[in-house]
Amino acid sequence: MVTTNPITQMAFLFVLSTLLSVIVIRLAIDKALALGIADHPGGHKQHDTITPFVGGVGVFAALAIALVVLFMLYPDQSLKWLSLGLSAIIIFATGFADDILQLNYKVRLIIQAMVAMIMVAAGGVVLSDLGELLPGMTLTLGLLSIPFTVFAAIGGINALNMIDGLDGLAGTVSFISLLLISTVALVAGDMSNLTLAAAIAGGMAGFLFFNLRYGAQRRAKVFLGDNGSMLLGFLFAWLLVDLSQGAHPAITPVTAIWLFSIPLMDTISVMLRRLSLRKSPFTPDHNHLHHILLHAGFRVEDTVLVIAFLHLLFGAIGLTGLYLGIPEFVMLFSFLLIYMGYFYVTLRPWYFIMALRHLHAFLGLIPTENHGMFLGSYSATEAERLVKMISKELGPAADSWVHVVEQYSPHQHNEKRYSVALNIRLISDNIAMDEENKRYITSVQQRMLERHGIQVRQFIERSSKNERRLQNQGNPTGNEQRISERRSATSTILVFEALFERHAPPTIFSPRQSHTLDSRETSLDTIQFSNEPIKRTNNHEI
């Protein structure tokens, strides 16, 4: 580097790392698709297309640049940089093996512990004290320093891996943390850690170019994969421990948890919840914060933005406490208070879904639209009466909303007709809630039939076992009867769907807060209609 200005040096390193990351990821995408090294949709995953999981190669390439610079600038610490490089290679290879072979979690933990031991024994990066957690008293770990460091490193490696569930989420959170870490390293004059953080931030910027949803890019072209998330988690453990220890630390250990707040809080919350349900803490589920926001109707892009804002806010609080000299025990207590609130939200998400929906509407964000449904064709008077009846029957506590869509027909003359559909969202993440949902649906079906003479029928998964069109092939009468039964303008069959985790782009207009519609709010004159027909956006029968 030709200039001695550290900011200019780091900016150059950041740009160089970004460009290299973009190049190697672009090449890796083509190679991965050719070799079939890609993530497939299904299970707990949110994506619906085959996507390469080679984002980690961009991070690894950026780390390689950082190591070259560190060896050049600080040759007296060669053993430290060698241990960093060796640990990174091992954890990166382990992540790739896990992506392809689905390693047993015990194998992963053993390898992660080994990597953490290399960090401690050869790299000299060890957590020797936890700071002044009591007034005027520094809590030193003594003989517990090595096992505590190993535990913290394993936690960091897996924390980032667990929040890697949406396009752009783990990458954006990591990028924010790296910027905050670069700031504290620059202020403290810790140029070696600043070099490492700036280079990795560039690697993340290159990765986000392919992973974020923006403009015409409506889905991620590449995933971070376990290879990338585990490598990043290890690098965060290295940076945060190294910055918080020594004779002149750049941050306190308490500040470190603020800078890594969202991955830390989300992982602990989800693992405690799984253990409370007697599940393995490593079993994937849909109880993370980003799943709760998706339940509340936030788009993927908005969910990433909200979580990124929270992460930046928490990091800023940590730095404010550090530079204002607020006692560490006060900052720790504050963090625990925020964590308790975070944990309660993830423990009882159904209490907060509606509040988040109101927040979503208040912010004016674009709503997510779920599976299409068809009730029937109604006149304005009939549709208005039906909407009022649904609202009154379900009540304001139900997590539901009504779609009213103006229909177009070439045979339509004077009277406009509207299709009406009802959506009820239910959360299901354990057997007890599944049974409760079944009881609720049965209750709705009985009430609607007994009180209003309307048969409520839940959608079912399309398959050869329940697809009557396949069963009735060669029997036009049966098929015609099915069409008449489900599509007739005079049908009294109300079809609704119990929603779980599926999300799709908007297809029809949904009136806000329709779950609280009453006689003053349901006039069709006050509702905006879409001229688009209801579309089928999933594999359910409509």
- Reported as a single tens digit per residue, the pLDDT across 311-349 is 999 999 999 999 999 999 999 999 999 999 999 888 887
User: Tens digits of per-residue pLDDT, 84-138?
Assistant: 999 999 999 999 999 888 888 899 999 999 999 999 999 999 999 998 888 878 8
pLDDT at 366 over 90: no
pLDDT at 56: 92
Q: 506, 366 in Cβ contact below 8 A?
A: yes
Closest CA to 229 of 45, 63, 83, 95: 95
H or E stretch at 496: strand 493-499
Q: Report CA Rg, the chain.
A: 27
The three-state DSSP-derived secondary structure of 214-255 is ECCECCCCCCCHHHHHHHHHHHHHHHHHHHHCCCCCCCCHHH
Does this model's pTM top 0.75? My answer is no
With cut-offs at 50, 70 and 90, classify the pLDDT of residue 523: very low
* Alpha helical stretches, state H, 364-423: 380-394
Averaged pLDDT, 491-520:
33
Q: Identify the sign of the CA torsion 457, 462, 464, 467.
A: positive
pLDDT at 82: 97
Using CA atoms, how far residue 237 sits from 108, 197, 310, in Å, is 16, 12, 21
pLDDT at 262 over 60: yes
Write down the mean pLDDT value for the chain: 76
Distance CA 419, CA 428 (A): 29
Task: Give 258's contacts (C-beta < 8 A, 6+ positions apart).
Answer: 314, 315, 317, 318, 319, 321, 331, 335
Q: Which of 101-115, 191-205, 354-368 has the lowest average pLDDT?
A: 354-368
User: Tens digits of per-residue pLDDT, 232-250?
Assistant: 999 999 999 999 998 889 9
pLDDT at 33: 83
Averaged pLDDT, 28-56:
72
Residue 192 CB neighbours (<10 A): 17
Distance CA 222, CA 228 (A): 11
Q: Which residues fall in the annotated binding site?
A: 161, 226
Q: Which residues fall in the annotated binding site for Mg(2+)?
A: 161, 226
Distance CA 398, CA 426 (A): 9
Averaged pLDDT, 297-304:
85
pLDDT at 207 over 90: yes
If you search the block for the tokens 């329709």, which residue do you land on? 514
Q: 51, 38 in Cβ contact below 8 A?
A: yes
Joined tokens for residue 308: 């990124």
Phi, psi of 298 (to 5 degrees): -75, 140
Distance of alpha carbon 276 from the chain centroid: 22
* Alpha helical stretches, state H, 102-224: 105-121, 145-162, 169-188, 191-211
pLDDT at 461: 46
pLDDT at 322: 96
User: Tens digits of per-residue pLDDT, 394-452?
Assistant: 655 455 556 566 665 556 556 666 666 666 655 444 444 556 666 767 777 777 777 76
Residue 260's Cβ-count burial label (10 Å; 0-12, 13-18, 19+) is: buried
Q: 505, 423 in Cβ contact below 8 A?
A: no
pLDDT at 40 over 90: no
Both ends of the chain: CA-CA distance in Å? 63
With cut-offs at 50, 70 and 90, classify the pLDDT of residue 367: low
